[in-house]
Amino acid sequence: MAQASSMKLLGSRNMSCIVERMEWNNKMDLIAYGTEKGEVIIQRLNWQKIVTFPTPGEDVRVRSLSWQMDETLLAVGYSNGKVALLDAESETIISGLIYEDDIKKVYFSKAITCKDNLWSYKCHSRDRHKRFLPKLQPLTNIDPCLKTLDQKSFPKGSPCFLVVIMRSGKVHLLLLGALQAGSIDLTQHVMHPEQFDVYDVRLNGDFNAIYALLRDGEQLKVLHFHNQVLQDSMEPMLELATYCAHILETKNYINDTLQCITEAWETVQFEMDNKLTKYANSQAYGMISAHFMELHVFGFATLDFEEFLTLTEKGFKKIANSVDLSLSNLQSLVFKQLNGAAVHMFYFMNTILGFGRIAHYFESLIVPEVANDAMRACGTFLMKVREMQRQIDSLVNAMKLFHSWMVFTILRLSHQEIPDDMVFTEEENARLIEFFHCMEPDSSDQETPPANDGENGSTIKVTRSKFNLERVGQYLENVNLTQPEETECSTLWDQILQENECLRNSRLVVPQDIDSSLIQQREKMFNAIDEVFHKPTESISGSFKLSSCVIIGDLPEFADENDDFVHCTYYVNESSDPDAKCDMLAVTVSWQEVVVLEFNPERCTLRCTRIQLQPGPFTIQLHEDYYNLRFVDLQFYNEQSLSMLAQTTTPTPGVRPHSYFVQFSLSSSRNQSTFHRLGPLVKLMDTTLTHSIHNNPEGVSFKGLDGVCEMLAVSGSRKVATVLSDRKRKMTIFEMENNDDEDDDTEMSQASFLEISKESVMAGDTEKSESI
């Protein structure tokens, strides 16, 4: 046990604002804390700030912080229902989730370690797609505030659950932060939902059950829910969650690519609008095509059209080069990035469809018919990308020919010398005539009536895009195509599908949606993929069964402030001894009493230890401060020790309370514990006794602290403790188990666990040299 007397003060700082939450990383010397402004700040043990993440909105509070085990990833729950995953190493926001209710708590479970029994249907490499699929290229034109390809939309490192607890009582489980692995509404399992409050919900060490600490009327309960699907299908769930995470990454990549494509297309339109479309908007519908055709065939034009052609050769070439560059960028985005992402998505869904056909493992997680529909939707999206690519290629070739002809015409009309190589073949002339003919395609609403402004009666002229750019732009609108691609049965496969309706409508053939735009097809694909992942959520959610209800104690009448004394902490003891392996939960059931529960799933037993701060009848004489103590916060230091924060309660006005750091050894109180068999209903109040913490002097130690301390954060692996005092504006850090002769592999000052930027390291070295 870490004796409080061996605590060494490392330093204290007055913070610039109130700190509402704080959490130590279990491996690295990093502490994260949330401020009253909604900011999340990550700093090192030597007070060096690593990164500050701004608040996601006004009046948003930080509800919960949780580090992923042995990683630099931090989960943050906000009062507006947002859950963000922050990476301290890259100093970026990896991804986020949005819920409709206020967040109570978010946390990462311990790492999932389960035997891989799925070797019979997969190769030894888990990421097999890397063998066959080319790596998606980074989007160089995207906003740097958005995530890049190298960042993940799910936690890295060992697989684990992300648990999101809502104040309404709903609990959501996410595997790898990506796969919705079930949910449960706790209000459906209480007798008094109108007097309900949830304090904590934890996954057990075997990941097949949850413990829910909640208020039900005037009783404090722990509900134990068993889940058979989690117990039987953990390995398939991990495999499915991995591909779900890949799909989420690809979804984000597709959205970001389409954003870049839209920006590139807007650039093309802007360049055309500089000169060409301005003239086109001043002409009646159909006249542009006639003017170009007349000039090309007969060699002369109207006076207005000649004014339009008063650009110099150099000026028009500048516009042409700009348009060609924008089209080339658009062509590359579609051909490389978007096409590659569509291929990735099809591959992942095809793999999931293969999983679904292995009913022995995936029957409760995947519906093969739904997965097949999603795969076909991915194939249709890929075909739509290829269709848009053909339209862009056609537009690029047509615009290059049109620009060459414009330069040729300007030179001819200005009586300048025309280069010998600027000669158009018969095929190119035919393509030009076809291009001019299609500039303004036939439409039922060729003449768009002017809009009337009701306020001043003025007429607003509605501009129309010319030069038939709609053939490409229509794919980026969330409406049906106005000019669908003309399809011809040019291949044998097209002829077979045309002649065989049964084959054309088969679920084994990917359908081609002629009328949908690219944006519409993307939404259809995303909706079909979402349907695939509804099955695991439904199966796991429906498998939660209430197996035991443990009544810990009574609570005062339901009110917002009456039960502020309820604090809890959870720890999984992964001992190799079956008798010692347990799930540990410590709860303050009053201002002076703590209950420590140790659940043993294998033995179906519960060990209960009740301790109080008040002296017992056989307690020796104590200092007067020890007679008026109350619990403020508590947290497991490790599986053997419980760290608690206590304050004195003095009725005398003007007297400032004292604070104590209490370190309690759980092993020293084993002989004071009671054993219980887990059944449908366990009432601990009738079968347990409360013992004074002062009657065990060898297992408890007190250390006086400066100021009025209100919050505690400890880390047994890092051997540090932090307390907040002075209305949560002062942070004090202690080193626990201080031993100068001990060779500690996790020395707090070492930076090998996290590669901080060179600037930060140099800044830290500069501060040290100045202090010397």
pLDDT digits (tens, 9 = 90+) for 384-427: 999 988 888 888 888 888 878 877 877 777 777 778 777 788 88
What pLDDT, on the 0 to 100 scale, is given for residue 140?
62
Burial of 484 (0-12, 13-18, 19+ CB in 10 A): middle
Residues 683-740: tens digit of each pLDDT? 998 888 899 998 888 889 999 998 889 999 999 988 999 999 999 999 999 998 755 4
Best CA proximity match to 401, nearest among 428, 430, 420, 440: 428
What pLDDT, on the 0 to 100 scale, is given for residue 417?
79
What pLDDT, on the 0 to 100 scale, is given for residue 23?
95
Best CA proximity match to 30, nearest among 642, 636, 756, 738: 756
Determine the CATH number of domain 16-114+153-185.
2.130.10.10
With contact defined as beta carbons under 8 Å apart, do 541 and 225 qualify?
no
What pLDDT, on the 0 to 100 scale, is given for residue 138?
78
What pLDDT, on the 0 to 100 scale, is given for residue 456?
46
- 339-356 vs 234-281: helix crossing angle, rounded to 10: 150
Domain range list for the chain: 16-114+153-185, 236-441+466-484+505-540
Residues 468-524: tens digit of each pLDDT? 567 788 888 999 988 888 776 667 777 787 778 888 778 888 888 888 999 999 999
What does the alpha-carbon distance between residue 198 and residue 215 come to, in Å, rounded to a whole number?
6
pLDDT higher for 764 or 738?
738
Minimum mean pLDDT range among 96-105, 176-185, 295-304, 342-351: 295-304
Best CA proximity match to 737, nearest among 643, 599, 651, 650: 643
pLDDT of 365 strictly over 90: yes
Query: What per-residue string of b and e applies to 40-66 under the rule 16 or more CB within 10 Å gives b?
Result: bbbbbbeeeebbebebbeeebbbbbbb
With tokens 């190493």, the residue in question is: 89
What pLDDT, on the 0 to 100 scale, is given for residue 230?
93
What pLDDT, on the 0 to 100 scale, is given for residue 637?
94
What pLDDT, on the 0 to 100 scale, is given for residue 275?
56
Q: Are strands 681-683 and 544-554 parallel, antiparallel or unpaired?
A: parallel
| Distance set, CA 522 to CA 147, 351, 505, 518 (Å) | 20, 20, 21, 6
CB atoms within 10 A of CB 406: 19
With tokens 């609008």, the residue in question is: 273
What does the alpha-carbon distance between residue 760 and residue 772 come to, in Å, rounded to a whole number?
19
Residues 421-466: tens digit of each pLDDT? 777 888 888 888 877 777 665 544 444 444 444 444 444 444 444 4
pLDDT of 664 strictly over 70: yes
Task: Give the pair of three-digit tokens for residue 89.
Answer: 């190493």
Best CA proximity match to 771, nearest among 7, 36, 46: 46
pLDDT higher for 370 or 143?
370
What pLDDT, on the 0 to 100 scale, is given for residue 451?
42
Residue-averaged pLDDT of the chain: 82
What does the alpha-carbon distance between residue 744 and residue 721 come to, in Å, rounded to a whole number?
17
Strand partners, 463: none
Q: Which residues are CB-neighbours of 679 under 8 A, at least 6 positions away?
A: 548
Residues 244-294: tens digit of each pLDDT? 989 998 998 999 899 888 888 887 777 665 556 666 666 676 677 777 777
Strand partners, 588: 594
What does the alpha-carbon distance between residue 196 and residue 80 come to, in Å, rounded to a whole number?
21
Report the predicted TM-score, pTM, of the whole model to 2 decimal places.
0.81
Task: Give the pair of three-digit tokens for residue 338.
Answer: 């978007």
With contact defined as beta carbons under 8 Å apart, do 206 and 582 qualify?
no
| Distance set, CA 320 to CA 276, 449, 460, 546, 731 (Å) | 11, 32, 30, 71, 63
